[in-house]
Amino acid sequence: MSDAPHSIRLNGPWQVCFAPGAQPTRVNLPRDWSTLSTTTCDGALTLTRFFNAPTGLVPGDQVMLVLDALPFSGNVTLNGAVLGDFSGSRQFSIVDQIELRNQLEISGSSLATGQPAGEVRLEIFAS
């Protein structure tokens, strides 16, 4: 693998729901969560974003999903498959799960309002 990855930032738009069945709100990451009503941030939330597969991938390339300094903990799914849990920051290898069109969901609770959220990105390591 190459030492320097190619990064693709998944800044937005994201849809965020603060309760099951609630109307989604559009947000971009990174963001300052203090701009949202703190009364909506006490329970569960789900961030959803669609993205296309990176172009030019060849066998042996590695694709990592990187959650960097999100102000909550929870779990991550890609195209309906659970990738795992996280708390703030985590990386997941997604080379075997990536499709032409992808749906990423990040669900969690205990949003720390007033803290800026880091970013979500793909890191591609060429073989």
CATH number of the domain enclosing 101 = 2.60.120.260
Which range marks the domain in which residue 38 is found? Answer: 6-125
Q: What mean pLDDT is predicted for residues 12-25?
A: 82
- Prediction pTM value: 0.86
Which pLDDT score, from 0 to 100, does residue 83 have?
98
Q: 35, 90, 82: which is closest to 65 by C-alpha?
A: 90
What is the reported pLDDT for 29?
77
Q: What letter does residue 117 receive in the DSSP assignment?
A: -
How far apart, in whole angstroms, are the C-alpha atoms of residue 37 and residue 90?
27
Average pLDDT, the chain: 85
Q: What is the pLDDT of residues 63-78, one digit of tens each?
A: 999 999 888 889 999 9
Quick one: pLDDT band at residue 91, thresholds 50, 70, 90? very high
* CA-closest candidate to residue 72, choices 83, 82, 85, 87: 87
> Cβ atoms within 10 A of the Cβ of 60, count?
10
Total domains in the chain come to 1
Q: What is the pLDDT of residue 19?
A: 74
Nearest to 44 by CA among 122, 105, 118: 105
Cα separations (Å) of 82 from 6, 12, 78?
24, 21, 7
Does 1 reside within a domain? Answer: no
Residue 18 has pLDDT above 70, yes or no: yes
* Residue 40 clears pLDDT 60, i.e. is over it: no
Query: Would 21 be classed as within a structural domain?
Result: yes
User: Which amino acid, 36?
Assistant: L
- pLDDT value for 3: 76
| Residues facing 25 on adjacent strands | 16
The confidence score (pLDDT) of residue 38 equals 43
